[in-house]
């Protein structure tokens, strides 16, 4: 069975400092992993996805994530936070249940960015 | 066109009303999804359509009725809703069918529904 755990419900950083949003997954298969971002009252936007081609995945807006199989982690990082990064971030694993796969969402991490 | 559109953006309805939410994508995607998202929670899957046929219904009450008239359009018909149904309703689409590897979903901006 697949599952995903976001270790922090809220992360607060100052503008210009690094961002780390933590995610651990559980999967019986080689997982499909995604990070989505949701700004207030908006839909979800894909930041990046793990496709097994490379363990370090680069996404939009300067975000990247590293797939670590030994640690079952897929943490999201950014070297320097911007005010516009303030949003809710979801780590997602794709569920395989026969032909009825769908997305399993973590509970989300709210990122606040202080001036 | 690489986006999913949803109308209306906001909807307020009474418990006796009948209304519909609309979702459209022109990316040639083969699967379309409805999600419900309550405040400060992740989205919850409601329905999945694959090749215009309902493939997943996550035990959603019958007051929600999905419809897929063609490969680009997905509707959600609402009737006799309850105040607890107030939420953000998100539509998504994907190139491949559920269960295919690395099958990312593209989300629309959502319809904010308030049931009085």
Where does the pLDDT of residue A27 fall: very low under 50, low under 70, confident under 90, or very high at 90 and above? confident
Chain B residues inside the 8 Å CB shell of A49: 102, 104
Q: Where does chain A show beta strands of DSSP type E? A: 3-6, 10-14, 19-21, 23-26, 33-38, 44-50, 56-58, 64-68, 73-78, 87-95, 102-105, 109-114
> Can you give the pLDDT at residue A100?
52
Residue A41 touches chain B, beta carbons under 8 Å: yes
> Can you give the pLDDT at residue A6?
97
Residue A107 touches chain B, beta carbons under 8 Å: yes
Average pLDDT over chain B, rounded to an integer: 91
Where does the pLDDT of residue A85 fall: very low under 50, low under 70, confident under 90, or very high at 90 and above? very high
Chain B residues inside the 8 Å CB shell of A34: 104
> Can you give the pLDDT at residue A99?
47
Residue B2 has pLDDT above 80, yes or no: no
Looking only at the bridges linking them, the beta strands covering B44-50 and A3-6 are unpaired
Cα A88 from chain centroid? 10
> Can you give the pLDDT at residue A38?
96
| Local structure of residue B80 (DSSP, 8 states) | S
Range in A14-18, A51-55, A60-64, B96-100 with the lowest mean pLDDT = B96-100
Cα A21 from chain centroid? 7
Name which of A50, A101, A105 is nearest B98 (Cβ-Cβ).
A101
* H or E element, residue B35: strand B31-37
CB A34 within 8 A of CB A46: yes
Looking only at the bridges linking them, the beta strands covering B44-50 and B31-37 are antiparallel
Contact B110 A106 (CB under 8 A): no
Contact A51 B102 (CB under 8 A): yes
- Give residue-wise pLDDT tens across range A37-50: 999 888 999 999 99
CB A66 within 8 A of CB A59: no
Chain A residues inside the 8 Å CB shell of B102: 32, 49-51, 94
Residue B69 has pLDDT above 50, yes or no: yes
> Can you give the pLDDT at residue B55?
83
Pair of tokens at residue A33? 């992993």
| Closest chain B residue to A91, measured at CA | B42
For chain B, what percent of residues have pLDDT higher than 70? 95
């Amino acid at each position: 069975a697949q599952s995903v755990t976001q270790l922090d419900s809220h992360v607060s950083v100052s503008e210009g400092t690094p961002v780390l949003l933590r995610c651990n997954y559980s999967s019986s298969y080689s997982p499909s992993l995604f990070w989505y971002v949701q700004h207030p009252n908006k839909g979800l936007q894909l930041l990046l996805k793990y496709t097994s081609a490379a363990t370090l995945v680069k996404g939009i807006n300067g975000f990247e994530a590293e797939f670590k199989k030994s640690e079952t982690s897929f943490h999201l990082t950014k070297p320097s936070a911007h005010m516009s990064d303030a949003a809710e971030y979801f780590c997602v694993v794709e569920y395989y249940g026969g032909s009825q796969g769908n997305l399993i969402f973590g509970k989300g991490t709210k990122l606040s960015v202080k001036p | 066109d690489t986006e999913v559109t949803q109308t209306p953006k906001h909807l307020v309805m009474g418990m006796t009303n009948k209304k519909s939410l609309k979702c459209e994508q022109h990316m040639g995607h083969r699967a379309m999804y409805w999600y419900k998202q309550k405040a400060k929670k992740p989205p919850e899957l409601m329905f999945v359509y694959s090749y215009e046929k309902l493939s997943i219904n996550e035990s959603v009450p019958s007051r929600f009725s999905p419809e897929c008239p063609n490969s680009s359009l997905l509707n959600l018909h609402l009737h006799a809703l309850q105040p607890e149904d107030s939420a953000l309703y998100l539509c998504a689409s994907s190139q491949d069918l559920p269960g295919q590897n690395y099958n990312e979903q593209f989300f629309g901006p959502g319809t904010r529904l308030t049931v009085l």
